[in-house]
Structures are given as C-alpha cells and as structure tokens.
Amino acid sequence: METYKVSVIVAAYNIEKYIARCLDSILNQTYKNLEIIVVNDGSSDNTGEIIDKYSEKDIRIKVIHKENSGVSSARNKGLDMSTGDYIGFVDGDDTIEPDMYELLVSNAINYNADISHCGYKLIEGQEEILMHGTNQIIIQDRKKGILDLLDGSMVEPGIWNKVFKRSIIEGIRLDESIKINEDLLFNMLLFNKSSKSVFHDVTKYNYIKRDESATTSSLNNIRKITDPRNVYNKILEIFKNEEEILPYAKKMNIDRNINLYNILTLEGDIDFINLRNEIKEYIKSKQSEVKRNNLISKKTRIMMWGILYLPFIYNCIYKIYYCKKYKN
C-alpha cells in the first residue's frame, strides 16, 4: 500500500504557537510515504524559522516561502509543487491522529475511490465534540457524494479530512478571489468529477477552534457575507442542467441565504443593513421557486414568511434566540 505517495499540503500564516504540534502529528503518521509541503504565506512571526528547522530534520518536508496572499494561494502553490498519487491538506494550527492517512489511503485503494474522507473532532478549549464518530463506511457514487456535500449534515465541506486522487485534482485549483467558503466550492468541483468516494465516519482529524483564528473571528467585513453567496451561485451554475441535483442545490442556496440574513440581523452598520435588505429581496424573488421545491422544509418556509412579512418581529425573535443560545 505504501507504494502510493501522499502529498500533504500545509498552509501556514503566523502560527508559531501551533505549527510544531501540527508537523509532529504529520511526521508521526503510521503511513510513511509522505511528501509534506509546507507553504509559509508571508508570516511575520517565527513560523518560517520553525518550518525551516523541521525541514532540516526530515527530508520529506519541503518548504515554500512566499508573500502573503491568502490560504487558497498557499494551497495552490503547494498543489503546483506536489508529486503524490494522492493529495491531502492539513491546516497548520490543527493536528491529525497517527493513523489518519493509513486509513484514508487504505479505503481509497480497497474501494477504488477517487476521494477518501473521514470524520473529525472539534476542539474548543477543553471541550471535544465528535463529528460524528458512528464508525459507518458510506460508499458514494458521484450523485450521492454531491448530495451529501450539499446537505452538509455529515460530510464536512472542508478539504482537510480527505485525500484526493491526483487524476481528479488535475486542472482544478482553489479560487483565490474567494476568501470564505472557498473550500466548499473546491470540494464541489472535485466531487462533481469523482465517480466514487468513500466516507469512513471515524474521527481522525482534530479541528482546533481558536479565538484569534481567521475562520472563527467575529463578523468584521462584508466579504464574510458576499463570498459565501458568490460560492452558492457558482454551485447553482455548476448543476443548472442537472435535474436530479439542481433542486438540492437550490435548497442549500435558500437555507444558507436565510442563515446569512440571520447573521446580519445582529449587525447595525449601514453596509450590513443594506446587504440584509438585498438578501431579503433575493429571498422574495425565490418564493415561486420554493413553492415548487418539495425539499424545502416547513421551518424554512416559516422563516421566509417571517423575513418577508414580519421582518421587525422576526429580527427581534432571532436576536432573543441568539442571546439565549450563545450568550448564556
């Protein structure tokens, strides 16, 4: 099995406190045939020096130093340099269990899958949450893989708990113009190209949530709303001619636009208010489409009605709900 090389791409930016434990977890893998490509995305702290020291200790580590231009650019640079039969990604402030790549590669080979993925553990402070840890093995043809990704209840839209066969990743790169949800779009392009994937629901990736993390910081710029909406529209475009998939993509689009609207009810800045009104108008334009889509839940239909016809009351109710759930 270890005749197959796995290229592990690690994007790193100002994570001097965490990069060592990340690299240790990769170097300690039971699967040894690894090419570890660490891309230092213009860090201003000691991240680059730490990475260089690790590369001196293990010849499997290749280091790229580049100007800061975002995680997608860093990952693409790693992809361009990779030579492995399979490609994997690890965020530089996370860790992986010792047998993650052994499991993923074994499943990819045994099930002849283009994509092999696993569950993960969400770690926030002292709290650990298994996502989901049922130990199920789920075989996905192209359609099921796409629908599971659109649903998002079990299959994680991140790219870090997976290995991708090189043949499906050729010619596909992350969209560097998108900073939020770029991994969802990248995944969708790859699952669309995949004829078979295998999901083993054991938690082998440790997603560590940090207060200062770019992915967990508070809503502080307009792109955290506009980028996801751009991604949802791109996904609709991908499947616009596929009758069996398009209704599910439309359902995801409506559900997630409502989620974005809910987030914006907590913001008082004029730019966010204008964007909230824009989403409201978008939801209004989809009323007839929603009536025809039996996949849209009753809860979603009620929320749409509240947003469109009782917005003041709806916004107040959501703010109360949010405070009770997250502030207590």
Task: Give 301: exposed, middle or buried? Use CB within 10 Å, 0-12, 13-18, 19+.
Answer: middle
- Whole-number pLDDT of residue 91: 95
All domains in the chain, ordered by first residue: 6-208 (3.90.550.10), 223-327 (no CATH)
pLDDT in tens, 38-89: 999 999 999 999 999 999 999 999 999 999 999 999 999 999 999 999 999 9
- Whole-number pLDDT of residue 327: 63
Provide the 10 A C-beta neighbour count for residue 242.
Answer: 14
- Whole-number pLDDT of residue 227: 92
Q: For residue 163, which of 131, 190, 201 has the smallest C-alpha distance? A: 190
- The one-letter amino acid at 68: N
Beta strands of the chain (E only): which ranges?
Answer: 6-12, 34-41, 61-66, 86-91, 95-96, 115-124, 127-131, 137-141, 162-165, 196-208
Residue 220: pLDDT band by 50, 70, 90 thresholds?
low
- Whole-number pLDDT of residue 124: 84
Which residue has tokens 């506009």? 226
Cα separation, 79 vs 77, whole angstroms = 5
pLDDT in tens, 98-137: 999 999 999 999 999 999 999 999 888 878 787 778 899 9
- Whole-number pLDDT of residue 219: 43
